[in-house]
Amino acid sequence: MGQRILVALGGNAILHPGQRGWAHEQMENLKETARALAVVAQEGHDLVLTHGNGPQVGSLLIQQAMASAVVPPWPLDFCDAASQGLIGYMIQQTLGAELEARGVERQVVSVVTRVRVDPDDPAFTHPTKPVGPFYDAEEAARGQARGEAWVHEAGRGWRRVVPSPEPVEILELDAVRRLLDGGAIPVAVGGGGVPVVRTAEGRLDGVEAVIDKDLASSLLARALGMDRFLILTDVDQVYRDYATPHRRPLPRLTPGEADVLLSEGQLAAGSMGPKVRAAAAFARSGGVAHIGALAQVEAILAGRAGTWIAAS
């Protein structure tokens, strides 16, 4: 019997390290991704897909900076929405073609998804999420004069940082659920979703922020009542002491054990930490979460690869 599986695609599913981001590069990478996902769909499982968008938003910001003399720049929420549409289209093209070739009658549908965040989230007073490329001190000073937060990294330059608030509510949840129940494969909360806040007047306004993709994906998986939550990345599983010669693979974790790893600082805040936190939150809801490499999807679901996170 098929299960309902939410698959969170990491950036390597769309753009490999060292690539420039040409359209043909991204489409070729997604063709590989599509082949792996199509096998899962062909086995009778229902899928919901989410994805990262960091390189694509970075490209938009570079394009805007270079054309700012003739084209007004977009706010970050516009860039988030644009990248959702772009990546969603590429997934529809590649996965749709792969499913058709296999005789699997599933429609892939992208949803530009807004995710509500709390305007009082502490992240808004402590921006930490880097966006865009590195610049020199002069450009950073101009950004700071506009009220932006910038940080310096020795040897690389200055980079803008924005808040990364916790996801609270997925506003297009009912639409995603109807698509899933109707047999489609929805693509949602791309890049963590477009962050919006509810104003005192009841209006929803976009904000300059980036929501962690895996935390938003976990929230969506829990809200939809998915059976499994699969986070695909460029690391084959979770490790203790990862950056040392003594690293040890962790094929099985409970949510409590995951909490201990996080409290010990074992997992990098900008990479594996949010993934494990997202997976543990899903496991607490009664489902099974997995973290592993894209090329090992079938083995991960069968329990032969990756890290499983479950309550027991």
Is 12 annotated as catalytic?
A: yes
Is 90 contained in some domain? yes
Is 29 annotated as catalytic?
A: no
Average pLDDT over residues 195-222: 96
pLDDT tens for 224-279 read 999 999 999 988 999 998 888 888 999 999 999 999 989 888 887 778 999 999 99
pLDDT tens for 276-305 read 999 999 999 999 999 999 889 989 988 899
The confidence score (pLDDT) of residue 134 equals 87
Is 53 annotated as catalytic?
A: no
Mean pLDDT of the chain: 92
Domain count, the chain: 1
The confidence score (pLDDT) of residue 155 equals 85
Q: What is the CATH classification number for the domain harbouring 283?
A: 3.40.1160.10
Is 302 contained in some domain? yes
Is 213 annotated as catalytic?
A: yes
**Lowest mean pLDDT: which of 62-66, 155-159, 164-168?**
62-66
pLDDT band at 25 (very low <50, low <70, confident <90, very high): very high
pLDDT band at 45 (very low <50, low <70, confident <90, very high): very high
Is 274 contained in some domain? yes
Question: Does residue 20 carry a pLDDT above 90?
Answer: no
The confidence score (pLDDT) of residue 275 equals 94
Is 44 contained in some domain? yes
Is 204 contained in some domain? no
- C-alpha 24/C-alpha 154 separation (Å) is 34
Average pLDDT over residues 116-127: 96
The confidence score (pLDDT) of residue 9 equals 95
The confidence score (pLDDT) of residue 103 equals 95
Nearest to 6 by CA among 228, 297, 272, 300: 228
Which of 129, 192, 193, 292 is an active site residue? 129
Residue 237, domain extent: 4-68+76-116+170-197+210-309
- C-alpha 264/C-alpha 139 separation (Å) is 37
Average pLDDT over residues 23-36: 93
Which of 96, 191, 193, 275 is an active site residue? 275
Is 296 contained in some domain? yes
Which of 53, 88, 190, 213 is an active site residue? 213
Is 153 contained in some domain? no
Is 265 contained in some domain? yes
The confidence score (pLDDT) of residue 15 equals 84
Is 52 annotated as catalytic?
A: no
